[in-house]
Amino acid sequence: MDLLLGAVVLGVLLGCFYAAVSVGLSVSFGLLDVPHVAHPAFLVLASYGVYQLNESYDIDPLLAGLAITPLFFLFGLLAYRVYYETFEKRGSDAAVRGIAFFFGIAFIIEVLIILHFGVDQRSVSATYIGKSWRFGEFRIPIRQLVAFAVALGLTVLLAVYLSKTFMGRAIRAVAQDEEALRLMGANPVRIKQFAFGIATAVLGIAGALLIIVAPVEPTLDRAYIGRTFCVVVMAGLGSISGTLIAAIILGVAESIVLTMFGASWAPAISFAMLLGVLAVRPQGLLGR
């Protein structure tokens, strides 16, 4: 019983971390319909930015993540503009071909990281990494708690921003009916560009959490491409609160399987759950 309870607690923490690394994709892919397969590569790039600041100036990884957020916002604006001008503008099938564009970006990011940092693993140091809180026999890694708290905050903040602010509502509107928004005099492309910037800026913090939770290496994006898309699709495209719920379900399922049933089954169970959700609710858990 203790083992099961522990697995659930660790799974919730892991799930919140998965939510943090997926929530940007929920905006870019879920709301904006951009086939952003470079999302995990952006995430790893952010981790390396955090690593550089931590290594060179001894800045706390979370603060470093916050510091690179504006840069990532600008990077997002630029990436979307290039994607829009070269692919999206030319119609829907051109958008599908845009997948190649984002694959290309992911590959370039990977090569640039290798050229600059080499291929070795990198990690950061902070007082909360490598220690745990003890509750009797049960111990919780503090880095997981930090990731949990920040991820939860980040997801709630983004959900509030998208539902309560003028720009957030505009982003939701552009996702629902771009043409109607254009008729009302707004510029949907600008709104989408801004939203993509937000989705990328969020990765500054998510990248910090990634390198806090585990060391990173240039090709780590491949490990996250399945997980992040799985969370976003299971959540229901564009649903931020759904992303949090789906990520927690995934995290708990993984943790229980790893603890109780045999580690080899973890990926199979996750994807079986995704298929199960899609079979019962094709629109995802909280999709419309």
Residue 34 — φ and ψ, nearest 5°?
A: -95, 125
Segment 153 to 182, residues that bind other proteins, using CB under 8 A: none
DSSP 118: -
Of the pair 60, 110, the CB lying nearest other proteins is at 110
Please classify residue 1 by burial: count the beta carbons closer than 10 Å to its beta carbon, then call 0-12 exposed, 13-18 middle and 19+ buried: exposed
Shortest spacing between CB 222 and other proteins, in angstroms: 8
**Tokens standing for residue 179:** 């043409």
Candidates 72-80, 113-121, 149-157, 177-185; binding stretch for other proteins (CB under 8 A): 113-121
Per-residue binder mask for other proteins (CB under 8 A), 1-40, x = binder: --x--xx--xx--x--x-----------------------
Among 104, 130, 153, 276, binds other proteins (CB under 8 A): 130
> Torsion-angle region of residue 60: left (phi > 0), alpha (psi -120 to 50) or beta?
beta
Among 52, 141, 178, 273, binds other proteins (CB under 8 A): 141
Shortest spacing between CB 267 and other proteins, in angstroms: 5
Among 36, 39, 122, 192, binds other proteins (CB under 8 A): 122
Compute the distance between CA of residue 27 and CA of residue 38 in angstroms, rounded to an integer: 14
User: In the block, which residue shows the tokens 């829009």?
Assistant: 84
207 binds other proteins (CB under 8 A): no
108 binds other proteins (CB under 8 A): no
DSSP per residue, 52-77: HHHHHH---HHHHHHHHHHHHHHHHH
Distance from first CA to last CA of the chain, Å, rounded? 37
Shortest spacing between CB 84 and other proteins, in angstroms: 30
Of the pair 239, 243, the CB lying nearest other proteins is at 243
Site size for other proteins, by CB under 8 A? 48
Segment 257 to 286, residues that bind other proteins, using CB under 8 A: 258-260, 262-264, 266-267
Residue 220 — φ and ψ, nearest 5°?
A: -65, -25
Number of H helices, E strands in the chain: 11, 2
The strand pairing partners of 122, in sequence order, are: 216
Of the pair 245, 252, the CB lying nearest other proteins is at 252
Q: Residue 254's Cα: distance from chain center in Å?
A: 18
Indicate the residue type of 47: S
Of the pair 146, 175, the CB lying nearest other proteins is at 146
Per CB under 8 A, residues contacting other proteins are 3, 6-7, 10-11, 14, 17, 110-111, 114, 117-123, 125, 129-132, 139-144, 213-215, 217-220, 222-223, 254-256, 258-260, 262-264, 266-267
